[in-house]
Amino acid sequence: MAKFYFGQFQYTQTFFHKLNPTLKIVLIFYLVILLFFLKTIEAYFFFLVFGVFLIILSKLSFKSVVSSFKPIIFLLLFTLFFQLFFTPGTIVLDLKVLKITKEGLSLSIYIAIRLIILTILTFLLTSTTTTTDLALGFRNVILPFKIFKFPVEELSLMISISLQFVPILFEEADRIMKAQMARGADFESGNLFVRARSFLPVILPLILNAFNRADQLAMAMESRGFILGMKRTSYRVSKFGKNEALAIIFVLIFTLVLFVLEGIYA
Amino acid sequence: MLEFQNVSFSYNGDNWVLKDISFSLKQGEFVSIIGSNGSGKSTIARLANGLLLSQKGDVLLNGSSLKDKDINRLAKFKVGVIFQNPDNQFVGITVEDDLAFGLENMGLDRNIIQSKIMEISEKLGIKSFLHFPPSLLSGGEKQKVALASVLVLEPDYVVFDEVTSLLDPINRKMILNTILEINRNRGVLYITHHPEETVFSNRIIVLNNGFIVRTGTPYEIFSDVDFLSSVNVSNLHEAILSKKLLEKGLIERFSLNLDEIVDQLCLN
Ligand SMILES: Nc1ncnc2c1ncn2[C@@H]1O[C@H](COP(=O)(O)OP(=O)(O)OP(=O)(O)O)[C@@H](O)[C@H]1O
Ligand SMILES: [Mg+2]
């Protein structure tokens, strides 16, 4: 676990990979909101096709798409089960104890497709954007909130430092675990509770260590002239070119088609 | 000139960690500080650019006290401090962002920031990994980046607090060469546990229990190994060996470098 990568960035350079991360975050966020305004099943299916198209465009492997569904599969089945059997309405199938209604059936299809599209969208974002770009993009996204006295610079600095610390803390956890194992600690056997408790001697030194590091980092930052809340300039600016304009137009057209579909099938 | 004038410092108000410390550092000078663990070396580093303020005495930058708010701010850029562990100094998510951090604090324009980053990364040979996250670099490369992040601010004085202690001999040599390079027009305050790294010093300050117990040239300091042991200075093997060989007439020049001692032995 010497090198640790955050997210599941895949190293190919496509249109979507190269897109300005700020715009990418904004567009994905926009699509997510759009998703919740749709009413007809036709529009949902068109959205799904669009998502699959983006995945192909970004040359992401089919296997990785499937594996990105693993974390939500339980959530998906759980909600489906409840919607399917516990929505009151016209009964289409009576299994004595459980009754499937027409409303339940359509509701669960809606929810399933929504969740699937949502997963595809987040997968697209995290697998075509490096953690670095995600953090930088996020900073720009929240930048406008500065006028409401929201501490944008501080928050983005916090995020970038946290990202900085993640691999270091993992390395450290690895080191501590090895040291404890050399002294006979066992992290693999026993039930969940026993195993969780055996991690305590790892977590505690890790937390102490993190505090110590944070203290040193604060000093290093102050030493380079950082004062919290003080005005400073910003080196990073995002490029905005032909690709970005194209992406916006593309998404606008997609929105238009969605609304037309909604109009026709409503 | 960076000057410590009768500085005493305490973290908690009653236990004095530094007692009546006075010394000065001019641009172009190399001053080393040695001393056992807890003798107060790092505390001096933190006082040097106003991270800490002394309760007694003053730290002066070109004659003005760092206790003055504006001078204190100026000192952050005029006196750079580089600490032991580079991992605890990175702020930027990429090397480039980290180099920009101090310059952003200065409030510089992004074009100027960019040209300064290019210049320093060219000079220190770190250009090829400007876009890497620091966590992917090797120990030596990390320390080089930490160095660059401070040097990019063009300080007149740089304090190095055990910057080579986590490095292997090859990287230690490389970092030391870089430090000698920048020493030409800058004052260097070099804190270390390794005697052989102090051979370039104009002066060595020996610290014990918060007191300066001796100041002198590398020869003056390291030829008196009995005194150094009495104030708990460690890593004296080369100094002891060199002194004994010199007394027996087996070598002609006092040295702290094992290779050099062997070379002299082979010549005779
Ligand atoms: N933040 C702090 N709060 C309280 N006491 C401290 C703090 N930092 C250091 N000290 C104490 O001050 C004394 C001097 O510490 P300092 O870190 O300056 O020593 P040092 O010479 O750098 O040691 P080392 O060789 O281990 O780095 C020590 O006794 C230490 O316990
Ligand atoms: Mg120290």
Please report the DSSP string for B148-215 in residue order: HHHHTT--SEEEEESTTTTS-HHHHHHHHHHHHHHHTSSEEEEE-S-GGGGTT-SEEEEEETTEEEEE
Measure A166 CA to nearest chain B CA, in Å: 9
Domain membership flag for residue B244:
no
- Flag whether residue B135 sits within 8 Å of chain A, measured between CB atoms: yes
Strands B30-35 and B56-61: unpaired
Best interface-test mutation with A: which of B104, B110, B120, B166 has the largest number of A CBs within 10 A?
Answer: B104
Tell me what ipTM this predicted complex has.
0.89
Number of helices (H), then strands (E), in chain B: 10, 10
Residue range B26-49: mean pLDDT, rounded: 95
Helix (H) or strand (E) holding A156: helix A152-182
Structural tokens at position B73 = 């701010």
Q: Tokens 């040695």 label which residue?
A: B34
Q: Which of A136, A216, A223 minimises the CB distance to B85? A: A216
Length of chain B, in residues: 268
Comparing alpha-carbon positions, the chain A residue that sits nearest to B115 is A235
Domain membership flag for residue B253:
no
Q: What is the pLDDT of residue A6?
A: 41
Best interface-test mutation with A: which of B117, B120, B135, B154 has the largest number of A CBs within 10 A?
Answer: B135
Domain membership flag for residue B256:
no
- The pLDDT tens digits for B207-229 are 999 999 999 999 899 888 889 98
Q: Tokens 């700020």 label which residue?
A: A22
Ligand 1 centre and the CA of B147: distance in Å? 23
Contacts of B86 in chain A (CB under 8 A): none
Q: Which of B80, B94, B135 minimises the CB distance to A168? A: B135
pTM of the model: 0.78
DSSP secondary structure letter of residue B255: -
Measure B89 CA to nearest chain A CA, in Å: 5
* C-beta atoms of A232 and B102 within 8 A: no
Name the closest-CA residue to atom 9, ligand 1: B43
Q: Say whether pLDDT at B197 is over 50.
A: yes
Nearest by Cα to A16 from A120, A115, A114, A141:
A120
**Chain A neighbours among B 19-38 (CB < 8 Å)?**
none
Number of helices (H), then strands (E), in chain A: 11, 2
Structural tokens at position B32 = 């080393």
Best interface-test mutation with B: which of A133, A159, A164, A230 has the largest number of B CBs within 10 A?
Answer: A164
CATH of the domain at B139: 3.40.50.300
Domain membership flag for residue B90:
yes
Whether the Cβ atoms of residue B188 and residue B179 lie closer than 8 Å to each other:
yes
Residue numbers of the domain that contains B10: 2-235
Coil vs helix vs strand at B31: strand
* C-beta atoms of B88 and A236 within 8 A: no
d(CA B231, CA B22): 19
Ligand 1 centre and the CA of B185: distance in Å? 30
* C-beta atoms of B97 and A221 within 8 A: no
Distance of CA A247 to the CA centre of its chain: 20
Q: How many interchain CB pairs under 8 A, A with B?
A: 101
Of B105 and A142, more confident: B105
* C-beta atoms of A233 and B88 within 8 A: no
Domain membership flag for residue B261:
no
Q: What is the pLDDT of residue B24?
A: 97
Q: Which residues have CB atoms below 5 A from the ion given as ligand 2?
A: B 41-42
Name the closest-CA residue to atom 10, ligand 1: B11
* C-beta atoms of B89 and A232 within 8 A: no
Residue range B188-205: mean pLDDT, rounded: 93
Q: Which of A157, A163, A224 minimises the CB distance to B76? A: A224
Please give all residues whose beta carbon lies within 6 A of any atom in ligand 1, as ranges: B 11, 17, 35, 37-43
Ligand 1 centre and the CA of B36: distance in Å? 11
* C-beta atoms of A219 and B94 within 8 A: no
Whether the Cβ atoms of residue A162 and residue B133 lie closer than 8 Å to each other:
no
Q: What is the pLDDT of residue A11?
A: 56
d(CA A9, CA A20): 15
pLDDT, block means (10 residues), chain A with 266 residues: 43 78 92 90 91 90 82 83 79 76 83 89 86 79 84 80 78 84 78 76 84 89 89 79 90 92 84
Q: Which residues of A touch B (CB under 8 A)?
A: 3-4, 131-132, 135-136, 157, 160-161, 163-164, 167-168, 213, 216-217, 219-227, 230-237
Q: Say whether pLDDT at B179 is over 80.
A: yes
Split at pLDDT 50, 70, 90, the class of B65 is very high
Whether the Cβ atoms of residue A226 and residue B101 lie closer than 8 Å to each other:
yes
Distance of CA B32 to the CA centre of its chain: 7
Number of domains in chain B: 1
Q: Say whether pLDDT at B119 is over 50.
A: yes
Give the start-to-end residue ranges of the domains of chain A.
1-129+240-266, 130-235
Nearest by Cα to A83 from A69, A57, A64, A103:
A103
DSSP secondary structure letter of residue B66: T
Q: What is the pLDDT of residue B136?
A: 84
The share of chain B scoring above pLDDT 90, in percent, equals 69
Q: Which of A220, A233, A237 minimises the CB distance to B89? A: A220
- The pLDDT tens digits for B124-140 are 999 998 988 888 899 99
Of A231 and B111, more confident: B111
